[in-house]
Structure 1
Amino acid sequence: MSGAAATDWGVLEPPPLAHSTALTRLWRAFMTARLMVGLVLLTLQVVAFSLGQPLNVWALTLSSGYLVVALAGRQFLRPDPPIRRLGLNWLLSMGVDLGTVALLHVLQSGSINYTPLFALPVLMGAVVGTLPVGLATAASVAVLLLGDALRVQWDTGADPSNRLLQAALSGTGLFIVALLAHQLARRLAREESLAERSRGTAQMQAQVNELVIETLSEGVLVIDVDGRIHAANPAAAAILGHGLAHAALPMALDSFPAWRPLATLAAQTFAQERSQSEEVPVAQSQGAAREVRVLTRLTPAQAAGGMGLCVMFLHDLRELEARIRTEKLAAMGRMSAAVAHEIRNPLAAITQASALLGEDLHEEGNRRLNDMVRSNAQRLARIVDDVLDMARARQQGEQRPHAGPSLDLDAAVRHMTEEWVGHNARTSVALSLGAHQTVDFDPEHLRRILVNLLDNAARYASAQERSIQVVTRVGSDQRARLHVWSDGAPLDPAVQRHLFEPFFSSESRSSGLGLFICRELCERHGAQIGYARRPLSQDGAEGNLFSIHFAPLAAPLPQ
């Protein structure tokens, strides 16, 4: 079967006449035309009788039968064009037409000439069939006409030259019509196939462009010559603010005073017909203004003198500077790991010397000083170990198992918070301890995380009572949680996206390692740390909330 199909494609018909929706529509049009021809044939018989001509019962019956067959064919005949052989589909459509017209031609009465009706099956075979089907249909008509000429000669004995010549001319004309119609059908099929491929490619390209634009970290605006925004990606909505993400587009770019510098830049781009670049401040509905670098580009239609669009690219300068700073500090981080490695040997020497010195010291004051040196040297050694651990390349998803003892979360948090308050003279930290669980966490690591979070909270919180709150509780998943909440101003969305990245900070004097180290220490113990802008309780005020979800552990402590 596959070899026969290949032969049909290779010899009988080239590939462009594969299944086509256009050919299917033409098939339905031909079916409708057959129905109209049936109605006309029946009407002709009735009109001829009303004009006084004798009733031709056979012609009337044949016309009525053809109308019924045409109606049934339109309702139930559903081939898959192109028709490739003279089979059942051809017989029930073109074959019926040939037979009907031929019989009407034989039974013709008066001056009615049915020969032009042969054009319908010939066109149908040439358009919705392969070239052999179309030519075979035209050949069938030529044979019928020649046979009719010979029949007339047999019946009347008249000279058949005129009829034979007319049959030859009609057959030749129908062959030419079949060939031309088939070529037009092939062209239609090729154009439709090309249009389908082009549309599929355009749709795929549009989807890819939309996905790329939607995920770009830089803002993109599409503006027309009248200064209206036709499209904006999420990054542009985040940079411009003022509810652009939920606005109905198109909208005027100068709808808000903060956007007027952008509208002016777009107007200059259209007026000068060349790209523009400028840094402009964009005021926000909340918070400080953003410094934005704006690049404009014209679409090719505008460059060619037509009505085009201006594509505006928006870069948040703070994010650009942070990205550059991150790259620079990443190199410094690698160097600091090497430096930390070199510090280990001097620290070991200091610790050993302190231990030896402690054996010869007898005065209480000197012993306390020596203990302080040894304690801080050991603490620095632990910090160096942590930095080196985080600097080492680890496989994705790998976690370092913790072998240390469990600790009482509530007691540890109370002690560490009170110690922090004592060192910072901060009296407005509110404690609410209700976890009553032990957690598998190194005490020194938990202290570093809590101190870091409290330092950040104190930097931005107000001086009011309960402006900083430390809460422990058990979540719905029975995991202990530690929350550090403050009433500070909301974090900028650009800051939130990079909050736990190394060497990222919204302040120039900060190294940007604090929250990154917190995240690394949490992941080391199977915990997760996150940030959200929300209240601690349903009826509370909104604030900045850092939460730690500890790994599941043993049973809760007795209350």
Structure 2
Amino acid sequence: MSPLLWSRGEGATDWGGLELRPGLDGRSSALRRLLRGFMTARCFVAVVLVVLQALTWGMGSTAPMLPLVIATLYMVATVLGWRYGQFSPPFRGFGAAWLSTVAVDLAAFTVLQLLQQTNINYTPLFALPVLMAAVLGSVSVGLGTTAAATLLLLFDAGWHWFNTGGDSPTRFVQAALTGTGLFVVALLAHELALRLAREESIALHNRSTAHLHALVNDLVIEALSEGVLVIDARGRVHAANPAADEILGDGLAHLATPFPLEMRPAWHVLAALARETFALGRGLSQEVPVAQPQGSAREVRVRTRLTPAAAPGEGLCVMFLQDLRELEARIRTEKLAAMGRMSAAVAHEIRNPLAAITQASDLLAEDLQEPGQRRLTEMVQHNAQRLARIVDDVLDVARARQQRALPLAEQVALDSSVRSLAEEWVRQSRRQGVLLQLDAKGAVVPFDGEHLRRILVNLLDNAARYAGEREGAIQIATRVEDKGRAFLQVWSDGAPLEAAVRLHLFEPFFSSESRSSGLGLFICRELCERHGASIGYERRALAANGPEGNEFYICFARNSGALTQ
């Protein structure tokens, strides 16, 4: 925040018509610089007075030595005040700070003025304490110091009239005019000091606000899902957010800014677009392919905007990057989610006629003898069953959304349940080469048995769709970590999933196949969350030198109970 804050709040201290918050008023760098300047000026004036009095005393044998002593004492006082003074402006009263500086000046100059026996006039020196009090003190301190200086000048005129009786009216008039001028100088100096303090306060406040806005902007840019690059007219990148590193890659996050955008061949198209933006003086929008360190090029929508510039070549080009695959996937997911809400209502209406079709085809198959007609009936039954499964999936999504939590009263023994479900799935699918490695050690997990069957069957169906035919192409494993969390893993040796597919793997109605409803993994996630469990995916190898594969894992909620197998 600003070191010098002006306010009209309660508990503030007045200084020249303004109010300073307590505890902050003595920290103005401008006032402290002025204080150092006045302290230095006092030392300089003291040295000049000592030199002047020494020359006067040395050249005239009849000159008294007392003025030289006064000047020397004044020089010592100013040097000590400059070196060891611990007070801070502004002066709010006639306290220790005023007495050790302004009062010392007034006393020294008055004594020298009274002791003068030559044509030397010390009246101009009274401007120094008056200016110091007016600039560094409140209005009352400045005007009080000026009044004291005027009275001292009038006292000097009276003292001279009492001792000599010469041209005293002229000295009185001169003292009055000098005092009037000092009052004017004091008022003007005080107003200038107030203006300086105001400008400093505003500048510091604006700097603090600008710094705060910069921090907020950095935070917002860092959290943006769009990639952001800030480029100058010479093609150097001054800032980049994590989203830009994810889109462009190629070591962008590890480059020290600023760096030239053309340092990577894949970024030349972006550098060309930035140059075109500066040449045209307006923002552009374009879809460009950006080569990736691995895999095919990525289609990126690039939008550029120019910041206002005070002079040519000083503006910046802000480049926004958006992965089109991400955008298309998000739009597709939103559309399909909206369609899913509608299809949930339609599914209820489909079930009854679908059941009638299935029953009619079963009855018809009993009376048909010709192979061709029986094949047609089997096709009707197969597609009716497929349609029934899709309807069940749609209705399951609706039920999962309506019931987000279940009472965890039912518990299952993990190893025995997984073994029986896996053996049942192998018999029905006639799939060979499935390996079991059950190491949960009698762990009991809070989960519904039917829900566990649906999840495991769904994961095994997905694994069988992409896995090979060799022994161990599909592996099922259970384990318990040291912290008591039980895990179920389904691994297959299928090809790796694309990055875009992995990002939306558990979203509803998202599938890489046209014949799939895209609800299987989403329902698995919903069922896991309803039981306090979580489901995830990773690409890894089961052994150190083994092949990599796709693994779906379930982390069950903690359960203190256990069964002995």
**Shorter-chain TM-score: which interval?**
0.7 to 0.9
* SS of 1:300 mapped into structure 2: coil
Is the CA contact 1:277–1:296 (under 8 Å) kept in the aligned structure 2? Answer: yes
Q: CA 1:157 to 1:123, structure 2 compared with 1: closer, same or farther past 3 Å?
A: same
Match of 2:18 in 1: 14
- Tell me whether 1:188 sits opposite 2:196 in the alignment: yes
Matched, 1:280 2:288: yes
Deviation at 1:456, TM superposition (A): 4.5
Aligned pairs, number: 533
Query: Corresponding residue for 2:419?
Result: 414
Q: Which position in structure 2 is the counterpart of 1:333?
A: 340
Deviation per CA, 1:208-238, whole angstroms, max 9, x where unpaired? Answer: 2111111111111111222222111111111
Letter in 2 for 1:442: D
Q: Partner of 1:187: helix, strand, or coil?
A: helix
Q: Cα distance, 1:82 vs. partner? A: 2.7
Check 1:376–1:260 CA distance in 2 against 1; reply closer, same or farther (3 A cut). closer
Task: Please report how far the alpha carbon of residue 490 of structure 1 lies from its aligned counterpart in structure 2 after TM superposition.
Answer: 6.0
Structure 1 residue ranges without an equivalent (≥5): 358-368
Q: Is residue 478 of structure 1 aligned with residue 484 of structure 2?
A: yes
The change in CA–CA distance for 1:250 and 1:505 in structure 2 (over 3 A counts) is farther
Q: Distance in 1 between matches of 2:180 and 2:129?
A: 15
CA separation of 1:409/1:162 partners in 2, compared to 1, >3 Å: closer, same or farther? same
Q: Distance in 2 between matches of 1:107 and 1:473?
A: 104
Judged with a 3 Å threshold, the aligned counterparts in structure 2 of structure 1 residues 383 and 502 are, in CA distance, closer, same or farther, namely closer
Whichever residue aligns with residue 287 of structure 1, its letter is G
Return the offset for 1:190.
Answer: 1.5
Is this contact kept in 2: 1:221–1:311, CA < 8 A? yes
Q: Return the offset for 1:286.
A: 2.1
Quote the residue 1:58 is aligned against. Answer: 66
Q: What is the root-mean-square deviation in Å for CA atoms of aligned residues? A: 3.9
Aligned equivalents of 2:65 and 2:470: distance in 1? 109
Gaps of 5+ in 2: 1-7, 364-377
Q: Which residue of 2 aligns with 1:530?
A: 536
Deviation at 1:192, TM superposition (A): 1.1
Offset of residue 316 of structure 1: 0.9
Q: What SS is found at the alignment partner of 1:217?
A: coil
**2:458 equivalent to 1:452:** yes
User: What is aligned with 2:248?
Assistant: 240
Q: 1:391 aligns with which of 385, 396, 401?
A: 401
Instruction: Give the 3 Å change call, closer, same or farther, for CA 225–466 of structure 1 in structure 2.
Output: farther
Residues 340 and 142 (structure 1), Cα distance of their counterparts in 2 relative to 1, 3 Å cut? same
> Is the 8 Å Cα contact of residues 47 and 75 (structure 2) preserved in structure 1?
yes
Residues 1:521 and 2:527 are matched in the alignment = yes
Stretch of structure 1 that moved more, 265-274 or 500-509 = 500-509
What's the CA shift string for 1:141-161, capped at 9, x where partnerless?
121111111111111111213
The one-letter amino acid of 1:13's match is: G
CA distance in 1 between partners of 2:135 and 2:259 (Å): 50
Return closer, same or farther for 1:508/1:381 CA change in 2, 3 Å cut-off.
closer
User: Is the Cα contact below 8 Å between 2:12 and 2:19 reproduced in 1?
Assistant: no
Secondary structure of the 2:104 match is: helix
Contact 1:340 1:388 in 2 (8 A): no
Letter matched to residue 515 of structure 1: L
Aligned-pair CA distance for 1:391: 3.2
CA contact (8 A) 2:394 2:519 kept: no
Amino acid at match of 1:221: L
How far did 1:129 drift? 1.3
What is aligned with 2:179?
171
Deviations 1:89-147 (A, max 9, x none): 32222122111211122223545443222122111111111233222222221211111
Paired residues of 1:296 and 1:311 also in contact (CA < 8 A): yes
Separation (CA, whole Å) in 2 of partners of 1:309 and 1:447: 58
Tell which deviates more after alignment, 504-513 or 95-104: 504-513
Residue of structure 1 in register with 2:367 after alignment: none
CA distance in 1, matches of 2:196, 2:512: 63
Name the residue aligned to 1:95: 103
Q: Which amino acid aligns with 1:91?
A: L
Mean Cα deviation higher: 168-177 or 383-392: 383-392
Deviations 1:57-106 (A, max 9, x none): 43344334334433443455444533233333322221221112111222
Deviation at residue 24 of structure 1 after TM alignment:
2.9
Counterpart residue number, 1:38: 46
CA distance in 2, matches of 1:116, 1:325: 86
Q: Secondary structure at the match of 2:166?
A: coil
Match of 1:502 in 2: 508
* Displacement after TM superposition at 1:51 (Å): 4.7
**1:526 to 1:391, Cα distance in 2 relative to 1, 3 A:** closer
2:214 to 206, 229, 244: 206
Deviation by residue 1:402-436 (Cα, 9 ceiling, x = unmatched): 443x3232233334445555666765654322112
Structure 2 residue 310 is the aligned partner of structure 1 residue 310: no
- Residue 197 (structure 1) aligned to one of 193, 205, 223: 205
CA distance in 1, matches of 2:462, 2:47: 89
Identity of aligned residues (%): 58
Deviation at 1:511, TM superposition (A): 4.1
Cα–Cα, structure 1 residues 458 and 34, in superposed 2: closer, same or farther, change >3 Å? farther
Question: Cα deviations across residues 431-457 of structure 1 (Å, max 9, x unaligned)?
Answer: 322112122222332233233334445
Letter of the 1:190 partner, please give it. R
Check whether the contact 1:429–1:468 (CA below 8 A) recurs between aligned residues.
Answer: yes
> For residues 214 and 100 of structure 2, what CA distance do their matches in structure 1 show?
45
Shift of 1:293: 0.9
Secondary structure of the structure 1 residue equivalent to 2:309? helix
